[in-house]
Structure 1
Amino acid sequence: MKKLLTLTALAAATALALSGCASASTDAGATDDPTNESGVRIVASTNVYGDIAEQIGGDRVSVTSIIDSPDKDPHEYEADARTQLSLSKAQLVIENGGGYDDFVDTMLSAADNKIAPVLNAADISGYDEEPAEGEFNEHMWYDFPTVQKLSDELVNQLSAIDPEGAETYEKNAETFDSQLAALEQQEKDIKASFDQTGVAITEPVPLYMLEAAGLVNKTPDAFSEAIEEGTDVPADVLKQTQELFSSGQVKALVYNEQTAGAQTELVLKAAKDAGVPVVPVTETLPDGTDYVSWMTTNLNALQGALSGK
């Protein structure tokens, strides 16, 4: 499912970006030109990282998020002229890494932006990106220790770019970090009540959160890997997954709403038929919320499902 940027699309976007540069002075103005905004110019691969950057940067930054809606699939993104132009002028870039948003590096190469520092969450995490067993879980924003490290790096990089704002960045980070600590405490509270409780997933998206909460993923690896890669789930694996609910092995299904399909719908039906609560999650930030509120909602939903509320 991880579809890299095509050379044709990239070339077209680059040409359009150059055209956009030429016409910026005669078009509508600042709102039509992402490079015309005030503050440190940050480009983030998704609105998750864009929101985190805004939390730390406040009104001293202007942020462009490439994937800015749950309706857009990060795995299938193709370049457009506006994004290409934003990246070419970025002073700081934030990407997830780990193979999740390779289009950012591809577009940076085309933009020939060799100056802007790039914060890669997977690298910042310190986790082994080539584990001896299993596959690397690249969904770093569900891992609060990694987000904490990213917050620290944002303060460092923004303070280097904009020294006059250093105190602001540090204060904003203190507030954000205290909110992260509250989220981690909620994970510990769930673990205290439900340690080693079985749950099912459709994709590995929320696994860092589930593991931190002491929950055990009972889903066959072959199921979640097939769904993530957009391939068919073998019939016997689908049956094993459906039986998790009828046999009472799991107390909740954590369901990625952004990759619903025929086989995930069958699993969803099996959960509902067995009376197993469903906790919906997404990969990108829902409209009208921020990172901390979003994660609080996810944890509240998980805690409520496990408690039977």
Structure 2
Amino acid sequence: MPASRLSSSVAILAASTMLLSACGGSTDASDSGGGEGTSGEGLTVVTSTDVYADLASRILGDTAEVSALVDDTAADPHSYEASPQDRLSVDRADVIVANGGGYDPFITRLAATSGKEDAVYQLIDGENEHAHAEEDADHEGEEDHEEHEGEEDPHDGHDHAEGFVNEHLWYDLAAMSDFVQDFSVHMGELAPEDAELYQENADALAAEIDALDERNRAIDAESMSFLSTEAVSQFLLSDAGLEDSTDEQFLAAVEHGDDVAPRLYQQALTAAADQQIDLLSYNPQTETNQSAQIREAAEDAGVAVLEFNETIPQEHDSYVEWMESNISAVETVVEDARG
């Protein structure tokens, strides 16, 4: 039986209030653009993945040095093992950006080891429950996330499936727009002399993301459905109007790093082979023998297959460009299906 639309009740969080650490000398300019800074000293920001590094760079411009621990499309952030260089980067960071939700516990572990817990800005509440659990992938309790007082849930409108959290927040464009604004306020509190710059950059970036969100939600995908080999694209495709036909137990097994039960695997294989779906969403960074077989069945049956990565592919210069490409691909699939 198809699963209902899944998502997490996610609260955008600012890190605990902290004093700005002094950094000697000026920092390198960001690769991702942004305005010119006015501060004589800069912040050092370390993020778990290049998605958040790109967005942070757009906001902070030349006032900060921003780097990501994971920026390789061949790496799976779910199972990433931090290096000694990563540990050094986190130890030197003024601000540490984590996705949370059990997605990137490697960076919060490093922060804890370095005594930098107060420097962590975490998007999804509850990750610390799992950060020290040695990859047991037990997601119990993650569904109980509280919103900040006075803030709206960025996932309002998404259905919530008990016992499963989709932590791939960067595919939720509305949530990313909220993050951009919230992060700019947080950084402005740490560097008041650059607060106005951060807000201007955030407004421009949020407007670009909002436009993509509007375009995605305008896709006419009524009566069309998709199957995912992993939950990465779920927010984007559901917002585009496609019905999610993936069993939540299938997704939970993948998120836990387990083999999918034979019954669920056969169910997915049949759905692909018998054209019971219009689109297969495929994550090449979490490929298994089972997911490869499902993809082969879909391709043999003439079902459209789209790849959705965890991190920004090398052929794209920015998060915004990458998401625009993903939306264009979905539009093409829908248009082709409509004839």
Q: TM-score range by the shorter chain?
A: 0.7 to 0.9
Equivalent residue letter for 2:121: L
Which residue pairs with 1:139 in the alignment? 168
Please state how far the C-alpha of 1:175 moved relative to its aligned partner: 1.1
2:130 is equivalent to residue 96 of structure 1: no
Q: Classify 1:114/1:204 alpha carbon distance in 2 versus 1 (closer, same or farther; 3 Å).
A: closer
1:37-186 equivalences in 2 (<5 Å): 39-116=42-119, 118-123=120-125, 133-186=162-215
Q: Distance in 2 between matches of 1:91 and 1:274?
A: 51
Determine the C-alpha separation between the residues in 1 that align with 2:249 and 2:115: 39
1:95, 1:120 within 8 Å by CA — same for their partners in 2? yes
Counterpart of 2:217 in structure 1 is 188
Q: Residue 242 in 1 paired to residue 231 in 2? A: no
CA displacement, residues 151-208 of structure 1 (integer Å, 9 cap, x when unaligned)? 1222112211211211211111111011111111112211xx1124211110111111
Q: How many Å apart are 1:225 and its aligned residue? A: 2.6
- Tell me, in whole angstroms, the C-alpha distance in 2 between the residues paired with 1:155 and 1:210: 28
Shift in CA distance, 276/219, structure 1 to aligned 2, threshold 3 Å: same
**1:292 counterpart residue number:** 320
Shift of 1:126: 5.9
The answer to whether structure 1 residue 224 and structure 2 residue 251 are counterparts is: yes
Which letter does structure 1 place at the counterpart of 2:326?
N
Distance 1:259 1:189, change over 3 A: same
SS at match of 2:124: helix
Report which of the two has the higher share of helix: 1
Per the alignment, in what secondary structure is the counterpart of residue 189 of structure 2?
A: helix
CA separation in 2, counterparts of 1:108 and 1:97? 13
Q: CA RMSD in A?
A: 2.1
Which has the higher relative contact order, 1 or 2, with Cα contacts under 8 A spaced 6 or more apart?
A: 2
TM-score under structure 2 length normalisation: 0.74
Equivalent pair of 1:45/1:65 in contact (CA under 8 Å)? yes
Query: Is the CA contact 1:39–1:61 (under 8 Å) kept in the aligned structure 2?
Result: yes
Note the residue ranges of structure 1 that are not aligned, 5 or more in a row: 1-29, 32-37
Q: Secondary structure at the match of 1:173?
A: helix
Asked whether the 8 Å contact 2:164–2:248 carries over to 1, the reply is no
Contact 1:253/1:276 (8 A) holds in 2: yes
Q: Do the aligned partners of 1:89 and 1:113 also contact (CA within 8 Å) in 2? A: no
For normalisation by structure 1, the TM-score amounts to 0.81
Q: Describe the superposition over 1:63-118 as per-residue Cα deviations: whole angstroms up to 9, x where unpaired.
A: 120111112221222222222122122111111011111122211111112552x2
Q: CA deviation at 1:43?
A: 0.8
Q: In the TM superposition, what are the counterparts of 1:1-20 in structure 2 within 5 Å?
A: none
Native 8 Å contact 2:44 2:64 kept in 1: yes
Number of residue equivalences:
269
Give unpaired runs (5+ residues) of structure 2. Answer: 1-26, 29-40, 126-146, 148-152
Question: For residue 280 of structure 2, what is the amino acid of its counterpart?
Answer: L
